[in-house]
Amino acid sequence: MVTLFGSITVFAVYCIRKEAFLGLTQNARQYIILMAVIVFFNVLSLALNMGDFLKAEDIFSDLSVWMNICSIFTFGGVLISLLAARKEGEDEES
């Protein structure tokens, strides 16, 4: 699972850095908002499930918490990469 999420993150960040993630007419703002919403709700879900997770004897038994953690890192990495690419684009224009 970690390998899958990690490879998706690396591929998405590589495409964003090489400017191959968005089409010419697509707006990055929509994707930034979408990634921020996804990260927010995953953090919220993680916070709500963390109490049961810490009480469990086997920390690997609750897959939903691990999915939330992987999703936060994946979509957070894509969000940070999109924001950095947007900042670089603004710097080049000015």
List per-residue pLDDT tens for the chain, 94 residues long: 788 999 999 999 999 888 888 776 678 899 999 999 999 999 999 888 877 766 766 666 668 788 889 999 999 999 999 999 888 877 776 6
Q: How far apart are CA 18 and CA 42, in angstroms?
A: 28
17 and 85 in contact (C-beta within 8 Å)? yes
Q: How far apart are CA 43 and CA 54, in angstroms?
A: 16
pLDDT for res 8: 93
68 and 48 in contact (C-beta within 8 Å)? no
Domain residues of the chain, as ranges? 2-93
Q: Model-level pTM? A: 0.82
